[in-house]
Amino acid sequence: MAPLKQLERDNPIIDACFRDFCASHGILTAEDFLLHDLYELAAFAERLANSDRLKESITLMLSLIELQCRPLLNGMELLEDLHRHKHTLSTGDKGTDSLLQGGFREGQLTELVGPSSSGKTQFCMQAAASVAEKHVGRVLYLDTGNSFSPRRVAQFICASSDAALVQTRNVYVQEVLSRISCHTVYDIYTIFDTLQGLEVTLRSQVQMNVNKCRLRLLVVDSVSSLITPILGGSGSQGRALMVALGYLLKKLAHEHNIAILVTNHTVGAGEGGKTKPALGETWKSIPHVRLMLSRDHRNSDCTISILKHTSLFLCVFVFFLAFRRDCEDHNSQGQSTMIVLASFAIYAHLLEQCLFNQ
């Protein structure tokens, strides 16, 4: 918090006399003003000898506060920002793209929920490959479990590129891979460091007008493994850090037009072996889009469904995606076939499995 003294340099009216008056009301910083009724303060100032000057200073403080505020945007301005800066990025999977009406949207936080080995990391790597290749954007991959595999990403790139010669293909793959940077992050404090560093870099890039190959996708795989250790107990510290991380991500996404993809695991609810996304109620209001991945272990088909979406209507769509994820198959494109369900019985069963529990 900025002490009032610092403001004196630019605004000479905030002099020692005014600061004394403020200190007598327990106001030491600019932020302290926010908690006070300024009309009441002005009324106090009225009783003092130099009331005019004090009131002038209070008005000045109010205008300083106003300067820090974000602008009030109307609907058309919001739409313009959306069309100009917030594009959709392909997830690398046609079925998911059509489910999400184009893919991830820049400025939004997409959460991928699924039990262990349901294909979350595969999905993330495929998305990273897709954004780096098709959208020529930089990708920052924050890996918390050493599960990032450049070789697998290269496979995804190879699968979708059509260069015939092995040599040109290798050059191409290397060029795409150079746009993906991976950082390992093992605890929540490190991720705060990384993200705050990123914010500073991005801000300076905006000032210098660097526009080539900007950061378009940020992947955190998995965010729940960073947050779960600090949750628990009755204290509010863990949850406060969780909420702060969520807001930091959303701020980065919105202000720098980055699509953010985070993964979350599932936990058993105890009742009849049903599972639900980890991180609890509070986290639910963080992501814009919540996707649920589940996998049928008999035929290794992955199902993806929308649990929450802020712009598609709130009902739950269910699509089945056969999402091939075997690493041996080099030609596997992770292509999905979309089978819109016909049978009501299967449908009800699926709903019970993956949607009711949350």
Partner 1 sequence: MGNDRTRGWIRGDETAKQMLSRVLRDRAFLLLPPLHRVPLRAGNVVEITGASPSAKTQILIQAAISCILPKTWNGIHYGGLGKLVLFLDLDCRFDVRRLSQMLKHRLLEANRLGNGAWWQLEESNVKTCTSVQDKSSIVYDEELYVSCMKRFLCLRCYDSLELLSSLKTLHYRIRQQEACGSQVGVLMIDSIGAFHWTDRLSSSLALEKSNRKSLSLTNVVETVVQEMKKLLQVHSLVVIATKATIYEERNFSSKDDLSGNASSKAQQPPLREFMPSSWQAFVTHKIIIRKSGDHQSVQTGQQSLSAYSLEWLQPQLSSIDRFIVDDSGIVIVS
By CB under 8 A, residue 200 contacts partner 1: no
Of 99, 131, 55, nearest to 319 (Cα)?
99
Which is nearer to partner 1, 38 or 182 (by Cβ)? 38
By CB under 8 A, residue 55 contacts partner 1: no
**The pair of three-digit structure tokens given for residue 11, joined into one six-digit string:** 């605004």
According to CB under 8 A, which residues from 5 to 34 bind partner 1? 25-28, 31-32, 34
By CB under 8 A, residue 313 contacts partner 1: yes
CB-side neighbour CA atoms (13 Å) of 217: 34
Peptide bond into 222 cis (omega under 30): yes
By CB under 8 A, residue 43 contacts partner 1: no
Vertex 253 angle, CA 139 and 65, to 5° = 145
By CB under 8 A, residue 189 contacts partner 1: no
List 159, 254, 319, 353, residue binding partner 1 (CB under 8 A)? 254
List 20, 35, 209, 326, residue binding partner 1 (CB under 8 A)? 35
Which is nearer to partner 1, 36 or 134 (by Cβ)? 36
Choose the binding region for partner 1 from 11-19, 89-97, 148-156, 339-347 (rule: CB under 8 A).
339-347
Which is nearer to partner 1, 183 or 250 (by Cβ)? 250
By CB under 8 A, residue 338 contacts partner 1: no
- Give CA separation, 51 vs 25, 47, 55, 105, 248, in Å: 15, 7, 6, 53, 42
According to CB under 8 A, which residues from 97 to 156 bind partner 1? 108-109
List 49, 165, 340, 345, residue binding partner 1 (CB under 8 A)? 340
Give the nearest distance from C-beta 8 to partner 1 in angstroms: 20
Which is nearer to partner 1, 166 or 342 (by Cβ)? 342
**Spatial contact of 155 and 328, defined as CB atoms under 8 Å apart:** no
By CB under 8 A, residue 339 contacts partner 1: no
By CB under 8 A, residue 84 contacts partner 1: no
Of 193, 192, 169, 194, nearest to 181 (Cα)?
194
* Amino acid type, 346: I
Round to whole Å and give the CA distance between 69 and 29.
Answer: 17
Round to whole Å and give the CA distance between 93 and 90.
Answer: 7
Which is nearer to partner 1, 327 or 341 (by Cβ)? 341
* Amino acid type, 110: T
List 9, 49, 72, 211, residue binding partner 1 (CB under 8 A)? 72
Of 296, 246, 290, 243, nearest to 264 (Cα)?
290
**Spatial contact of 110 and 104, defined as CB atoms under 8 Å apart:** yes
Give the nearest distance from C-beta 335 to partner 1 in angstroms: 24
Choose the binding region for partner 1 from 66-74, 166-174, 211-219, 328-336 (rule: CB under 8 A).
66-74
List 16, 43, 78, 200, residue binding partner 1 (CB under 8 A)? 78
**Spatial contact of 329 and 148, defined as CB atoms under 8 Å apart:** no
List 10, 20, 49, 74, residue binding partner 1 (CB under 8 A)? 74
Choose the binding region for partner 1 from 118-126, 161-169, 202-210, 341-349 (rule: CB under 8 A).
341-349
Vertex 106 angle, CA 213 and 308, to 5° = 150
Which sign does the torsion angle of CA 114, 109, 198, 69 carry? Answer: negative
Which DSSP string do the residues of 89-111 spell out, in sequence order?
A: E--S-HHHHHHTTSSEETT-EEE
Give the nearest distance from C-beta 258 to partner 1 in angstroms: 14
Phi, psi angle pair for 183, to nearest 5°? -120, 140
Rg over alpha carbons for the chain, rounded to the nearest Å, is 25
Give the nearest distance from C-beta 268 to partner 1 in angstroms: 14
For partner 1, the binding residues (CB under 8 A) are 25-28, 31-32, 34-39, 62, 65-66, 68-70, 72-76, 78-79, 82, 108-109, 236-237, 239-240, 242-244, 247, 250-251, 254, 271, 274, 280-282, 284-285, 287-288, 307-308, 310-311, 313-317, 340-342, 344, 347, 351, 356-357
